[in-house]
Structure 1
Amino acid sequence: MAAHRKPRQRPLTGPAARTAATLALAGAASATAFEGVGHAEPQLSPAQVKAKVDQLYQQAEVATDKYNGAKAETQATEKSLRTLHDGVARRTQELNTARDALGAAAEAQYRNGAIDPSLQVLLSSDPTQYLDRAGYVERADDLQAAKVTGVSKQLGDLAQLRSEADRKISDLRAQRADLKKQKTTVQSKIRTAQALLARLTAPERAQYAAQDAGAAVPRADRSAVRGSLVAPNSRAAQAVAFAYGALGKPYVWGATGPSSFDCSGLTQAAYRSAGVSLPRTTYTQIDSGPRVSRSELAPGDLIFFFSGISHVGIYIGNGEMIHAPHPGAPVRIAPIDQMPFAGATRPV
């Protein structure tokens, strides 16, 4: 009867050894992962949730401002591109008309038994050939030379317009990519903040809402605040009146009214109602007029917050402003001490 021996184990080498090592590491990682199951993330207090949510909303507002800037640049580039395309079409039509006129002249010369070499080149479908041999123009008569030179200039202008249009198209692609990136960032920050808030109980959410509102002026006291206003000019007074009319409307990032606003959208719309055109973003609105110190603030002044100039409100007097705070919080009156003051300007 044959003896049964245990097969001798050979050490693994080469690809087999690497495969075994990979499987071993994967198994260890899986074991670690399963061991972690059941360890829930520490429960945050309402105050801690508020701190995290405030930070996320502030980061979202920075991204919103970048989104607004990219959107404004994209719209300007699209408008410029449309103008360029119109110019290309117009120049092409002018060029075709000039070529038709020269074609008629060439036909007349042909009937007389000769055709000027410059016309032969011009009527070629290859503009490069024409430009390279433009010296033939000197051999045409004065009138004909002027026509040929004019067409030559039109060809050059058309090439320049097309080149500029190509650059604009490239810029537009880059701006649209940036727009998409900033939109994704904003949405991600807001979703994370909303997920944190969803973990709170109903009483905790009520507590968060009260803390978020802070010392916002109660609706019943608004008439007293408004009655004490002394705006420096009629434009500022109209902007403040518009802001009061926007109270209670929701914050929506990227919105400029009339039914919803983000922070710079509200200030832009308020001054637009007064006939003043403000740029779209907070970091450009701060340069829309002379700077004013905190002690010189007057109703209608724009107040900016955070070191990155990422939030703006309209001053209404008595240390209060009207602003669009963040998603979930409507346009409201609030003390300017709620956020770190970064500067103020008086639009002109």
Structure 2
Amino acid sequence: MGTKASTQRRTGTRPVRRMAGVVVAAALCLVAAPGIAAATPTNPSDEQISAARQQQDAAAQQVGSLSAELATAQAEVDAARAQSAIALDSFQAQQAEYEAAHAASDAAAASADRAAAELATARTDIATFARQSYQQGSTSPTLEALTTADGPAQMLERAALLEAAGAHQGDVVVAVTVAEEQARAAESAAQASLTVAATLKQEAEDALATAEELEAGARAQAAGLADRQATLEQELAQAQQALLGLQGARAAAEQHAVQQAAAERAAAGRAAAERAAAERAATERTPAPTRSLVSAPQSDTSAGTGDSSAVETAISAARRHLGTVYSWGGGSLTGPSMGWGVDAGIVGFDCSGLTRYAYAQAGISIPRNSRAQYAALPTVSRSELQRGDLVFWATNTNSPATIHHVAIYLGGGQILEAPQSGSVLRVTSMRWSGFIGGTRPTA
């Protein structure tokens, strides 16, 4: 909001505050002072009442304006918190993809190492063959072996042996070629996986930074909203007190006049009765009627319970942590864990961390983040919700991509949730605004 508007709003409230203080003081003076119970109250003039009403109307107009601004600010806070939750959800999903890519990179690197070892072995075989040929004095020993044979039989035998040796040497050459290709392919795969992993890691870090900024902004807006709420309530109370003070003073004065007239009439009646009594020899007394009080009966209500053992195990596990601090990004399969970003160093649960932990204790595995939980589990409509179902909220109820919160439905219009930073795990009423649907982990 602009500086000019803020200045106008601040300066515009000062006359109301000053007038409210003056009117309250006047009203207090108009009422009977302490210790003078019989004093006659002063009736405010019509001009005083009119001025106070005008000031109250002006304050009411400012209250209405501030209320509209507060509603807009609250909507902005809710939207910022929802976007923060979505950003955290994205970070968790991208972090999982990064870990998978890193594992693929490690596997590719191991494959490259094995190919390099095979290549080294093949090269050693080639070097051995070359060295032996050199030591024999010829790189082609086939002709020498055949020409030095003692006879046809030995020549045929040597020819068979040389043919086998040549085939082996050819296998060595092929092995070298294959090993080199495998090494190059494995290295390329490893580099590609590392590139993908680095990209995903950067995206995850960017998503986390965005989430931190959104959450910090939401908290700042919430703090400002609370301050303005206190100011609004104070100004409204002052305006109402001012008008009610004068109205009360007038009512007291009018009531006093009525009582005085009644007292005068009563005194006149008593005087007349005394005169009549002097003329009568006896008086009649009639007992005052009595009334009996009958107390109304009280109604009693009872609630039913019951569901599957897995649902009750999950709910019981979540209930054990009621009152645990909310931690942005916190929650593991075994309990509360350290949060991230704005809640770094805080041990607790976020919304999807709580639901995943609860059902893990019942032996049911569900994804880490809220959008993945909604996508992976069987969906149920509002009319089909049962105790133990997961319920989800989104900024756009037609788009699951905007899901930002999840809780456990307890039945009877109650949910168990990890709400937001600065709060604790709690049981509260179901909220239908922004509700996009439910899922059933036990289905």
TM-score band, normalised by the shorter chain?
0.5 to 0.7
Give the letter for the 2:89 counterpart. D
SS at match of 2:406: strand
Q: 2:5 & 2:228 partners in 1: Cα distance?
A: 24
Q: 2:139 & 2:320 partners in 1: Cα distance?
A: 76
2:78 matches 1:112: no
Q: 1:302 & 1:115 partners in 2: Cα distance?
A: 78
Deviations 1:268-309 (A, max 9, x none): 222333333322222221232322233332333222221322
CA contact (8 A) 1:288 1:347 kept: no
Q: 2:138 & 2:386 partners in 1: Cα distance?
A: 82
2:227 matches 1:201: yes
Q: 1:270 & 1:296 partners in 2: Cα distance?
A: 21
Indicate which of 321, 335, 354 corresponds to 1:266: 354
Q: Unmatched 5+ residue regions in structure 1?
A: 1-35, 117-138, 208-223
User: Where does residue 40 of structure 1 map in the other structure?
Assistant: 6
Deviations 1:28-66 (A, max 9, x none): xxxxxxxx8665376855554433221211111111111
Q: Unmatched 5+ residue regions in structure 2?
A: 11-65, 141-163, 234-301, 337-346
Indicate which of 313, 317, 320 corresponds to 1:245: 320
CA contact (8 A) 1:289 1:347 kept: yes
Q: 2:199 & 2:368 partners in 1: Cα distance?
A: 19
Deviation at 1:76, TM superposition (A): 1.6
CA contact (8 A) 1:264 1:281 kept: yes
User: Where does residue 230 of structure 1 map in the other structure?
Assistant: 307
Indicate which of 134, 143, 156 corresponds to 2:168: 143
State TM-score, norm by structure 1: 0.68
Cα pair distance change 1:152/1:277, threshold 3 Å:
farther
User: Where does residue 116 of structure 2 map in the other structure?
Assistant: 92
SS at match of 2:392: strand
User: Where does residue 293 of structure 1 map in the other structure?
Assistant: 381
Cα pair distance change 1:196/1:287, threshold 3 Å:
closer
Q: 1:47 & 1:37 partners in 2: Cα distance?
A: 20
User: Where does residue 310 of structure 1 map in the other structure?
Assistant: 404
* Count of matched residue positions in the alignment of Structure 1 and Structure 2: 272
Q: 1:245 & 1:180 partners in 2: Cα distance?
A: 33
CA contact (8 A) 1:67 1:254 kept: no
CA contact (8 A) 1:228 1:317 kept: no
Q: 2:364 & 2:412 partners in 1: Cα distance?
A: 24
Cα pair distance change 1:241/1:140, threshold 3 Å:
farther
Q: 1:108 & 1:241 partners in 2: Cα distance?
A: 77
Q: 1:53 & 1:37 partners in 2: Cα distance?
A: 21
Deviation at 1:198, TM superposition (A): 2.6
Q: 2:390 & 2:378 partners in 1: Cα distance?
A: 11
Deviation at 1:247, TM superposition (A): 1.9
Q: 2:430 & 2:176 partners in 1: Cα distance?
A: 64
State TM-score, norm by structure 2: 0.54
Cα pair distance change 1:140/1:344, threshold 3 Å:
farther
Q: 2:98 & 2:133 partners in 1: Cα distance?
A: 52
Give the letter for the 1:281 counterpart. N
1:61-76 to 2 correspondences below 5 Å: 61-76=85-100
Deviation at 1:327, TM superposition (A): 1.3
Deviation at 1:178, TM superposition (A): 1.6
1:141-220 to 2 correspondences below 5 Å: 141-199=166-224, 200-201=226-227, 204=230
| Identity percentage of aligned residues | 31
User: Where does residue 248 of structure 2 map in the other structure?
Assistant: none
CA contact (8 A) 2:105 2:191 kept: no
Cα pair distance change 1:270/1:204, threshold 3 Å:
farther
CA contact (8 A) 2:106 2:190 kept: no
